[in-house]
Chains A and B, each alone.
Chain A
Amino acid sequence: MTALPRIAITTGEPAGIGPDLCVALSAMPNAELVLIGDEPLLQERARHLGLDPLDTSAGISIQHIGLAAPATAGTLDSSNAAYVLDTIRTAALGCQSGDFDAMVTAPVHKGIINDAGIAFSGHTEFIAELFDAKPVMVLAADTLRVALATTHLPLSAVPAAINHDSIVDTLTTLHEELISRFGIAAPRILVCGLNPHAGESGHLGREEIDTIIPAIETAQRRGLNITGPLPADTLFTPHHLKDADAVLAMFHDQGLPVLKYAGFGNAVNITFGLPIIRTSVDHGTALDLAGSGRANGGSLQAALQLAVQLANAAHSPSTTATGR
């Protein structure tokens, strides 16, 4: 690639901190940034925060998509739900067509989108549906990557949602993309059990014996380096993590909290299993902070940097795709 990577940034829920964080971005020397959202909203939010109007000649531009109704910081309006989804769709399809090299998403508010009568369980699922893909949600921090076997569903529905084929598929995607996107030659993956003490030989639940162990064995037969299932409270200790490139957790709160409290650095959400590169912040819309200037842009910065890194890697296979 001779030109700089073009990164689409969806500006997220207009009443949340997404627009604040986006207009506060500085131009990057190694990428061209395109904010996707309502231009007057973004310029107005910049003015409100006391920032200079966005200078679109300096490596940051806006691709305008119009709001359905004026947005007020902190106040949700379901009539803008379709707008929010439009920004995501535009970025994703733009990545597919080659207009963009990667997309980064600012937070959206799931509740208000559903209130508008649109079933929506998250960016990951929405983008995957556009490409008819099986997504794998991965959170990456400096030294630890955690993938999820199940994502945004009620915890009571998780045991029934875990099956042999989905675990094998997830492990395969994880393995392949650790190689192709992160340049890890022979990824080592640890797998969590579902139950306390990983089921303790069936005394505390049978999913390990009936589903998870057979799935791991299938993946191992295909040559993947997988260890588990391990009790999650044993697995997430330095002793085990030091020899791992990634962890597969069985459900959302088993894997994600660890990254947030354990000082692994800024966590970035990446979706594996897509034909495009997509990263995201790891926080929500923080409506109470919108327009206040107090929102922390660290996660968006980290997501942006990782998107640039992955976009560059995708264009220079010699430095990464060891396994392909």
Chain B
Amino acid sequence: MTEKPLIGLVQGDPAGIGPELMVKLLSDDAVRERANIAIIGDPSVIGRGESVVGHTIDRHHVSALERDQAAGQILHLDLAIEDIESVPLAQVSAAGGRSSLTGLETAFGLSANGIIDGICFMPFNKESMHLGGNPFMDEIGFARDYFGIDTAASEFNMAHGMWNGRVTSHVPMREVPDMLSEERICQSIELADSTLRLAGYDRPRIVVAAYNPHAGEGGLMGREEIDIIRPAVKRMQERQMQVSGPFPADTLWLKVRDGEYDVVVTMYHDQGQIAIKLLGFDQGVSLLAGLPVPVTTPAHGTAFDIAGQNKANLDPARNAFMMACDLAQGLSKAGGWYTQT
């Protein structure tokens, strides 16, 4: 892609800070400069953001999106969501959940048809999504189902240049050990490598976290390191990836914070989430990696406590938008998520 990518900017839950973040994003010169943008949302939701921020966004309303309309103007694909206008601020609601799901599903469809190159969505509220009919534990489950993906697509996080991919995510801790396998860990390492390459890293420096305390201490406190994690790391090293580990989780994040590695592959949800939220929540981005289209979102939630107050920090949303652009261009150049390795 030599031209700018076309990014679908998807409304999240209108009860939260999403509407105001969208308007702030669309008012940001660097954002408008970086990509062509199509808003995918209900007009009343953007209107809500406009009145919070006190700024109106010039945009061209369309009922069907086409690629060549996008140069030089912001497009707005109108979604009609039942009961959306009555969604109260800062409250859980089924309509708020439907808004999130419908927006994302519409964007997936547009990307599958080659119309948009990347997706950046505003925060969802999990409880509203359950009420709104989402049967999946998380967005990645929804996306995998939509695209029929059975490879290791998974959620990544990034803050201050520290990336994190997970081998397992939204599963009970009791089930994690059975899900860990050499194959699955290899897939996660490979996904980390290809994702960072798409984002512009020449040779990503990958580090793999241990599963057990003290990395099992030679098998005294668990054998996963010896039996599956180390062999997986070795296999990926043989494929010329720059990967080290497994290292104990407590000292590993120090090295990542100090810039020794670009991406950490963690074995379970909290192993990465605790660190990355504490080290960089004010900047954090979540990415659904390994799908046919890059999908990003700010790592924070709907922030009901400050919704409608024009106080929300734009940085995570701006970082998410920029990452979607970088990956969209990387993907277009590479032809697919996995082709370089």
Which residues of A are at the interface with B, using a C-beta cutoff of 8 A?
A: 110-111, 114, 121, 151-159, 194-197, 199-200, 203-207, 231-234, 236-237, 251-254, 256-258, 260-262, 284
Contacts and interface: CB of A to CB of B under 8 A. Distances in A.
Interface in B211-265: 211-214, 216-218, 220-224, 248-254, 257
A195 B176 CA distance: 10
Contacts of A236: 274, 277-278
A205 B173 contact: yes
Given A196-B169, A205-B174, A251 B213 contact: yes
Nearest to A232: B270
A257 B173 contact: no
Contacts of A111: 217-218, 220
Contact of A257 (B126, B171, B177, B274): B274
B281 interface: yes
A151 B279 CA distance: 25
27 contacts: A110-B214, A110-B220, A111-B220, A114-B220, A152-B213, A155-B173, A155-B177, A155-B222, A158-B173, A159-B172, A196-B268, A197-B269, A203-B137, A204-B170, A204-B171, A205-B173, A232-B270, A233-B269, A236-B277, A252-B214, A253-B249, A253-B271, A254-B270, A257-B252, A257-B253, A260-B251, A261-B275
B212 A155 contact: yes
A154 B176 CA distance: 12
Given A152-B220, A159-B172, A196-B169, 9 more contacts: A121-B221, A156-B222, A196-B171, A196-B173, A200-B126, A205-B175, A257-B253, A258-B278, A260-B254
Contact of B273 (A151, A152, A157, A233): A233
Contacts of B176: 155-156
Contacts of B214: 110, 152, 252, 284
Interface in B161-202: 169-177
Contacts of A197: 170, 269
A197 B214 CA distance: 24
Given A156-B222, A194-B173, A258-B274, A253 B279 contact: no
A236 B214 CA distance: 21
Given A195-B173, A196-B270, A203-B137, A155 B213 contact: yes
A18 B336 CA distance: 52
Please classify the interface of chain B as helix (H, G, I), strand (E, B), loop, or mixed, using the class held by over half of its residues. Answer: helix
A254 B274 contact: yes
Contacts of B223: 154
Closest 4 CB pairs of A and B: A205-B172, A154-B222, A196-B269, A252-B213
A262 B281 CA distance: 13
Contacts of A258: 274-275, 278
Contacts of B172: 159, 195, 199, 204-207
A199 B169 CA distance: 12
A233 B274 contact: yes
A157 B216 CA distance: 12
Contact of A155 (B211, B218, B220): B211
Contacts of B222: 153-157
A155 B281 CA distance: 27
